[in-house]
């Protein structure tokens, strides 16, 4: 749009919708990042891409379960963990 915002949607087909279209785009060779397309190089990960692209309802269920599990991960506090000032190195 000519603006200065460098943000790019990882799923240009449906950028404002939470759906499995990302996988369809990767399967069609239109993944935005090199790492997206790398998912299609190995049979194991290619199978995940194919299944997620084909079965949107199943993908949505898996996504929901993953978000619930991530929400239950405990945050490390005080002496249990470390707040990184620079993520590329140990403080």
DSSP state of 58: H
Distance CA 36, CA 14 (A): 16
Tokens standing for residue 54: 């084909």
- Is residue 5 part of an annotated ligand binding site? no
Task: Give the number of other CB atoms < 10 A from CB of residue 63.
Answer: 14
Asked if residue 11 belongs to a known ligand binding site, the reply is yes
Please check if 36 is assigned to a binding site: no
Annotated binding-site members: 11, 14, 19
Annotated binding-site members for Ca(2+): 11, 14, 19
């Amino acid at each position: 749009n000519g603006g200065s915002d460098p943000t790019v949607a990882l799923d240009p087909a449906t950028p404002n919708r939470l759906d499995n279209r990302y996988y369809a785009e990767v399967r069609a060779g239109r993944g935005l990042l090199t790492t997206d397309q790398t998912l299609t190089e190995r049979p194991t990960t290619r199978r995940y891409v194919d299944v997620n692209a084909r079965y949107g309802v199943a993908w949505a269920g898996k996504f929901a379960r993953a978000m619930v599990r991530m929400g239950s991960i405990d945050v490390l506090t005080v002496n249990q963990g470390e707040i990184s000032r620079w993520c590329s190195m140990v403080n």
